[in-house]
Amino acid sequence: MDKLLVEVYVPAISAHYDVFIPRDARVHELLDLISTAIERLSGSLFSRDSTALCDGETGRIYNNSIMVEEMNLQNGSRMMLI
């Protein structure tokens, strides 16, 4: 499986995480994976209820039905989990 290394910023807890993500997943699957991991890593400081993934540079919310490979991400891209 081909993966990308991206940075995920979580403003709710002022934390940054480096995460490997699969290129062949849909955004809604990726959102579930990332939010579950961050909820566990943060000791439940972050709640994964009503979350969205955004572009870390523009703040544009990603469409949950697109594939990761359609997002034009590269290694080192920044995302934001709100």
Q: Which H or E run contains 21?
A: strand 15-22
CB 5 within 8 A of CB 20: yes
Query: What confidence tier does 49 reach under pLDDT thresholds 50, 70, 90?
Result: confident
Domains of the chain listed by start with CATH number: 3-81 (3.10.20.90)
Q: Is 62 left (phi over 0), alpha (psi -120 to 50) or beta?
A: beta
Residues of the chain with pLDDT > 70, as a percent, come to 99
Q: DSSP alpha helices (H): ranges in the chain?
A: 27-41
CB atoms within 10 A of CB 13: 14
Which residues on adjacent β-strands are paired with residue 17? 8
Confidence (pLDDT) at 74: 93
Beta-strand pair 53-55/78-81: antiparallel
Q: What is the pLDDT of residues 51-71, one digit of tens each?
A: 999 999 999 999 999 999 999
| pTM for this predicted structure | 0.89
